Structure 1
Amino acid sequence: MPTERELAATIDHAILKPELTRADVDAELDIAAEWGVFSVCVRPSDIPHAVERLAGTGVAVGTVIGFPHGTTSTAAKVAETRQAIADGAAEVDMVVNIAALRSGFDDVVVADIRAVVDAADGHVTKVILETALLDDEQIERGSRLTEAGGAHFVKTSTGFAGGGATVPHVELMRRTVGADVQVKASGGVRSYADALAMIDAGATRLGTSGSAVILGEARRVDAGAGATGAVDDTSY
């Protein structure tokens, strides 16, 4: 069972809702710093501010590419990725071309992924499949194509498509990809129990806006008090 610190090292704290004001973003950045999560995942326009505010905290800044639908052109995703890296992003989470994946256009999907991986120039790249919109065959194939495209992670969800991570989907993704590709579970990870279930299923990174609740529960467990509570994590 992971300690609070070990669990914090798996969390990408999501700050992605379109309606968030600068004050809202700052409050979330401060939460991330307070709890010592691995990273924040912010809207692309928030990268420079997040990098500045989190300087010296040890919390990395990541962002999203082609978010949330994945239907922007490859050229647009490449430009967005290059700008994100130039602005200070350490990691990028790109949304797969969902329509191409569902259509069976595997060459298109791989080329799209590879272009973003190349544009990221060695920075960690995660590929969001949006599992709520896919059947098991498409999830398995999308995971294989993610690996073929050279990405570092295959990821379940944006949290904006009416569904999030499930244990069976995380297990399927973990079985499908090799040891060099990690799995990120995002969307619906609301509690300490949810986090443990995703890690047990094979996830090594968790996307959630409920970091304080999850890590607060972990702290109580570390102290022998047990875990209770959940958060409405509809944003990621």
Structure 2
Amino acid sequence: MNKSQLANTLDHTLLRANITREDLTELCRTAMRWGFHSVAINSAVVSLCRETLGDSPVVCDATVGFPLGQTSVESKVFETRDAIKNGAGEIDYVVDLVAIKSGDWAYVEDEMYRITSTCRELGAGCKVIFETCYLTDEEKERLCEIACRVHPTFIKTSTGFGTPAPGVPNGATIEDIWLMKRCVGDEVLIKASGGIRTTEQALNMLEAGASRIGTSNGVAIVEGFVE
């Protein structure tokens, strides 16, 4: 792997609420300058970012149902369609954690199927955010089993906005990447996201089985890579 290849695994992320349009413009310019795979943004600003990116190969990666996942399937499907219409090439949606914690796996599978199908119909990639900090290993495994039936493009660890119990990481862990990779094999790709700030962390996640990294520290990660 060289610096260019590493950069192309990164979703360059800016999901805070208290930012400006100038911040988003700079995000896009940085992604183009460094050759990141995408800019990961909230769905309301897809049009602005796609316009800034122009003909660049950098993808607009829009979040849906973010960060809590607590909107109806119909709302998530509408937000998905709207984001893709406005220029998103990938969608990162948050699963319904209440359904998971209530054991309503039929709902979870139907939601994943409908959003994945919408993305497939409109030619966009689909990533399913698990929010692993709230889940047991058994729940993570059940989600992986569903993903192997539905085939979204990626399953993803975290939003980075979780607020777990003390001592529980709110982002990606090597152990979760191992678990997810063991469950899905080559059926579904894996995105590690949340708390990844260094070159070493990013490389460890990729070695463990991730194919994509979500981070707001992309420049530092690529700069720290020694070929």
Same fold, TM-score > 0.5, yes or no: yes
Structure 1 residue aligned with 2:18: 19
> How far off is 1:144 after superposition?
1.5
Q: For 2:162, give the aligned amino acid.
A: A
- 1:55-113 per-residue CA deviation (whole Å, 9 max, x = no partner) reads 13321111011110111000000100110111111010110111111221110000001
Structure 1 residue aligned with 2:45: 46
Q: For 1:209, give the aligned amino acid.
A: S
Alignment of 1:154-233 (within 5 A): 154-162=155-163, 163-218=170-225, 221-222=226-227
CA distance in 1, matches of 2:6, 2:178: 19
> How far off is 1:142 after superposition?
1.3
Name stretches of at least 5 consecutive residues in structure 1 with no aligned partner: 223-236
CA distance in 1, matches of 2:95, 2:220: 30
Instruction: Give the CA RMSD over aligned residues.
Output: 1.1
Count of aligned positions = 219
- 1:146-165 per-residue CA deviation (whole Å, 9 max, x = no partner) reads 23233111100000003100
Q: For 1:106, give the aligned amino acid.
A: W
**Percent same amino acid among aligned pairs?**
39
Q: TM-score if structure 2 supplies the norm length?
A: 0.93
- 1:169-188 per-residue CA deviation (whole Å, 9 max, x = no partner) reads 01100110141300000001
- 8 Å contact from structure 1 (residues 146, 154) kept in 2: yes
Q: For 2:18, give the aligned amino acid.
A: E
Structure 1 residue aligned with 2:128: 127
Structure 1 residue aligned with 2:139: 138
Q: For 1:171, give the aligned amino acid.
A: W
> How far off is 1:23 after superposition?
1.3
SS in 1 for 2:224: helix
CA distance in 2, matches of 1:144, 1:64: 23
SS in 2 for 1:114: helix
The 4+ residue runs of structure 1 with deviation greater than 2 A are: 146-150
